[in-house]
């Protein structure tokens, strides 16, 4: 399953986040896969697409960052999956 992860950097400060990322990497557990990410121009938020079969991997990952980031996690479908899901009702 895919998840849109909206990261709100605490106090709007990206520097501690990028320092940790530089020093320790993404800190994602085995079973959680990074797909892509985008950061707002003001460096206050990040939008990431992550993939995993069990949401427990998301919980493990966010626990490693929650001192620096507030997370909003939304399960999402790809466009192709949405087409398949809606096709019988069209």
Domain CATH code at residue 55: 3.30.70
Q: What is the pLDDT of residues 51-90, one digit of tens each?
A: 999 999 999 999 999 999 999 999 999 999 999 999 999 9
Q: What is the pLDDT of residues 6-53, one digit of tens each?
A: 999 999 999 999 999 999 999 999 999 999 999 999 999 999 999 999
Range of the domain at 41: 2-89
Number of C-beta neighbours around residue 81 at 10 A:
12
62: buried, middle or exposed (CB in 10 Å: 19+, 13-18, 0-12)? middle
Report the domain count for the chain: 1
């Amino acid at each position: 399953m895919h998840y849109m992860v909206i990261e709100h950097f605490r106090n709007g400060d990206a520097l501690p986040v990028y320092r940790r990322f530089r020093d320790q990497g993404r800190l994602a557990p085995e079973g959680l896969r990074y797909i892509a990410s985008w950061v707002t121009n003001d460096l206050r938020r990040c939008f990431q697409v992550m993939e995993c079969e069990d949401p427990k991997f998301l919980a493990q990952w966010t626990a490693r960052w929650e001192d620096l980031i507030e997370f909003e996690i939304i399960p999402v479908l790809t466009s192709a999956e949405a087409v398949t899901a809606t096709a019988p009702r069209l």
